[in-house]
Amino acid sequence: LGQSLNNALRKLARASTVDEALVREVVRDIQRALLTSDVNVRLVLDLTKKIEKRALEEKPPAGVSKKEHIIKIVYEELTSFLGKEAKPIEIKEKPTILLTVGIQGSGKTTSVAKLARYFQKHGYKVGLVCSDTWRPGAYFQLKQLVEPYGIEVFGDPEEKDAVKLAKEGVEYFKKKGVDVIIVDSAGRHKEEKGLIEEMKQISNAINPHEVILVIDGTIGQQAYNQALAFKEATPIGSIIVTKLDGSAKGGGALSAVVATGAPIKFIGVGEKIDDLEPFDPKRFVSRLLGLGDIQGLLEKFEELSKETEFTEEDVEKFLRGKFNLKDMYAQLEAMRKMGPLQQILKMIPGMGYSIPDEVIKVSEERLKKFKVIMDSMTEEELENPEIINYSRIKRIARGSGTSTKDVKELLNQYKQMKKFFKGMDKRKLAKMAKKF
């Protein structure tokens, strides 16, 4: 979905003149992109009609080009199409009890682990209850997911009564004095009716503050019925849509849930424990369109700075293109830990359209070689790589047991990166740097 929406906007960005024919063509492209992503036809038509009308009728304000204006309209309409501001799950009372429900395979257990980690990162003590008496190994699955983080799981693989387990688990963690208790349920029913019955039984026993329905994003607009039945059954419900990474139908699932009026609080974007994001339509659409996403980037950096030696100063230097070789190395290393560079850099405003691979792709091996080379440089050279001429290159290559080609590669990477970040929008960079 992102790619095809991005292509539609690219067409717009490339055009020399923006006329009615072009607007209609772009709107048609957007329509096609949404339909391919399994968004409901009626919703697509409503949305694109609005976009077309505004694009043709509204005049851009002074200082804004017609193209920019239309991109903004597309962004605004898609954003409001995907709902309102993000509303996170609140921890008002201690303990706050959360119950997750959803059909088997929807990603419940994974999401419970992700949520636990999310709350832990935000400073809360979390206890997990496995009340899935249905799937063999359910308890061990959950335990394994959170064990590295020291999060405790209550469960009993021998017990057959799910309601009893849920109740005992909640009591156990109440006594322990945790801040958040999350109960993972079985979801053995494939149909809405059975699922909701199961939810009610456990709900009555543990009286949760919030019930979270986990929906598999790959089912597309079929998500509508599940979300609607759930919304009607409980006033304290919210939703997590999972598997939005690489799912062609993600847009369909999200828009279907939004159409029911049930709030989406998180989205699952991968199998790993950190692949959970608070759902924010603005952020989601920005990324879809390739417009970049300041907020997302900031959050990633924030998470990262907790785990590595990565100061605000570093980030600022980097973003201003004022880094030296040592800084670059630290950044590359840090970003490798943070996950795919593509994903991170996509979130930087203005970079979504094209990210030259040579700027950001650094293999582990290459990074190691960089380190060896840098060890043979003088302090002066590291601080000020511009002074490295050919005779220095030869000396460094000899000293590090590498070739002049290797040294040049490192310097090249540095130059490219520098050039690239320098070429980025200065105003946005300044704004972003200020936020740190």
Size of the site for ligand GDP (CB under 6 A): 17
Which of 243, 249, 346, 418 is close enough to bind ligand GDP by CB under 6 A? 243
389-398's contacts with Cβ under 8 Å and 24+ in sequence apart are 397/373
Distance between CA atoms of residues 57 and 59, nearest Å: 7
Which of 171, 245, 274, 383 is close enough to bind ligand GDP by CB under 6 A? 245
Residue 188 marked in a binding site: yes
Place of tokens 């906007």: 9
Residue 331 touches ligand GDP, criterion: CB under 6 A: no
Structure tokens at 170: 């909640």
Give the three-class secondary structure for 20: helix
User: In this complex, which beta carbon is closest to ligand GDP, that of residue 26 or of residue 199?
Assistant: 199
Beta-sheet strand order (sheet of 96-101): 152-154, 126-130, 180-184, 96-101, 210-216, 237-242, 264-268, 276-278
String marking each residue 196-235 x if it binds ligand GDP according to CB under 6 A:
----------------------------------------
Residue 324's Cβ-count burial label (10 Å; 0-12, 13-18, 19+) is middle
Which of 96, 106, 109, 331 is close enough to bind Mg ion by CB under 5 A? 109
Which of 6, 31, 37, 109 is close enough to bind ligand GDP by CB under 6 A? 109
User: In this complex, which beta carbon is closest to ligand GDP, that of residue 268 or of residue 281?
Assistant: 268
CA dihedral of residues 131, 137, 143, 144 (deg, nearest 10): -150
Distance between CA atoms of residues 320 and 306, nearest Å: 22
Distance between CA atoms of residues 60 and 221, nearest Å: 35
Residue 155 touches ligand GDP, criterion: CB under 6 A: no
Q: In angstroms, give the least distance from the CB of 122 to Mg ion.
A: 24
Which of 22, 269, 288, 344 is close enough to bind ligand GDP by CB under 6 A? 269
Residue 105 touches ligand GDP, criterion: CB under 6 A: yes
Residue 107 marked in a binding site: yes
Number of alpha carbons in the 13 Å side-chain half-sphere of residue 426? 3
Contact between residue 386 and residue 310 where contact means Cβ atoms under 8 Å apart: no
Q: According to CB under 6 A, which residues from 29 to 58 bind ligand GDP?
A: none
Q: Provide φ and ψ at 28, rounded to 5°.
A: -65, -40
User: In the bound complex, which residue of the shown chain has the CB atom lying closest to ligand GDP?
Assistant: 268
Residues in a beta bridge with 214 = 240
Structure tokens at 112: 């419970």
Residue 106 touches ligand GDP, criterion: CB under 6 A: yes
Q: In angstroms, give the least distance from the CB of 301 to ligand GDP.
A: 22
Rg (CA), the chain: 25
Q: According to CB under 5 A, which residues from 371 to 400 bind Mg ion?
A: none
Q: Decide which of Mg ion, ligand GDP, none touches 270; Cβ closer than 5 to 8 Å per partner kind.
A: ligand GDP
Size of the site for Mg ion (CB under 5 A): 2
Q: In angstroms, give the least distance from the CB of 135 to Mg ion.
A: 6
Structure tokens at 316: 């600022």
Place of tokens 């419970």: 112
User: In this complex, which beta carbon is closest to Mg ion, that of residue 135 or of residue 428?
Assistant: 135
Residue 123 marked in a binding site: no
Q: Residue 335 has what DSSP assignment?
A: H
Residues that bind Mg ion (CB under 5 A): 108-109
**Residues annotated in a binding site:** 102-109, 184-188, 242-245
Residues that bind ligand GDP (CB under 6 A): 102, 104-110, 187, 242-243, 245, 268-271, 275
**Residues annotated in a binding site for GTP:** 102-109, 184-188, 242-245
